Amino acid sequence: MDYAQIIQTVAIYAIPVLFAITVHEAAHGYAARHYGDNTAYMLGRITLNPLKHIDPLGTIAMPLLLYFATSGAFLFGYAKPVPVNFGRLRHPKRDMIWVALAGPGANLVQAILWVVLGYLMVAAGVEERFFLEMARAGLMVNLVMFAFNLFPLPPLDGGRILVGLLPMRAAIGLSRVEPYGFFIVLALVVSGIVGSLWLRPLMNVTAGLIELLLSPLRWLLF
């Protein structure tokens, strides 16, 4: 195992990961406040301070342990969720959709911005591999968070979006899965089902759309 290479990879991914989880969670809190729930605001969670969103086990210990144990072949982690009292939203079932979408939406915007930064560095003649790799890492991290969080099973954002879209009886049935959802998703991740049938296809489609969206900028710069 090349520990020097692993340490360099961790350094490249550190800033994109911190930005990705911080803005993701803050976006949930901001959207909740906008739609009537001040819980996250009162607890100081609508902030870009990453320390407020880092879970020592899920954000640091688990990803590092898995990375070193599998030589980078398998990685999984999570941030400290922003508390949202959906009952305090002005229109709970409808507003839940927008609050849930805010996190993945923030990751999609960040993915676009990292690609723009990469284009600008290449156009400016920047040849430092560390910074170019960081831009690529920023795109990858945010694509993963965008696609993974949209998986349609509570407590992931996609599950909450689906709860908000379904008729009431079906929504109540799906919401009952939430206490077990994390373990179900983890099992699906380990088995490879999430990666092959959901994560990679959605990431590829999203990356293609970002490339298409930014094609005018690429044409102007290159």
pLDDT of amino acid 137: 93
Residue 1 has pLDDT above 60, yes or no: no
pLDDT of amino acid 174: 94
Residue 120 has pLDDT above 90, yes or no: yes
CA dihedral over 167, 170, 176, 182, signed as positive or negative: negative
pLDDT of amino acid 67: 64
3-state secondary structure 124-186: CCCCCHHHHHHHHHHHHHHHHHHHHHCCCCCCCHHHHHHHHHCCHHHHHHHHCCHHHHHHHHH
pLDDT of amino acid 68: 66
Question: Mean pLDDT across the stretch 86-106?
Answer: 95
Q: How far apart are CA 19 and CA 49, in angstroms?
A: 9
Domain spans of the chain, in order of start: 3-221
State percent of the chain over pLDDT 90: 64
Q: How far apart are CA 157 and CA 168, in angstroms?
A: 18
53 contacts 25 by C-beta, under 8 angstroms: yes
Min mean pLDDT across 156-165, 183-192, 208-217 is at 183-192
- Characterize 20-31 residue by residue with b for buried, 16 or more Cβ atoms within 10 angstroms of its Cβ, and e for exposed: bbbbbbbbbbbb
pLDDT in tens, 41-88: 898 888 888 888 888 877 777 677 766 665 555 566 678 889 999 899
Angle between helices 129-149 and 200-213 (to 10 degrees): 120
Tell me which of 219 and 61 has the higher pLDDT.
219
26 contacts 48 by C-beta, under 8 angstroms: yes
pTM over 0.85: yes
Question: Mean pLDDT across the stretch 26-48?
Answer: 93
Q: Give the catalytic positions in this structure.
A: 25
Determine the distance from the C-alpha atom of residue 25 to the mean position of all C-alpha atoms in its chain, rounded to a whole number: 9
Residue 96 has pLDDT above 60, yes or no: yes
Min mean pLDDT across 6-10, 83-87, 114-118, 122-126 is at 6-10
184 contacts 154 by C-beta, under 8 angstroms: no
The first and second tokens of residue 118, run together, are 């990469």
Residue 38 has pLDDT above 90, yes or no: yes
Q: Which residues contact 115 (CB under 8 A, 6 or more apart)?
A: 135, 139, 210, 211, 214
Tell me which of 88 and 4 has the higher pLDDT.
88
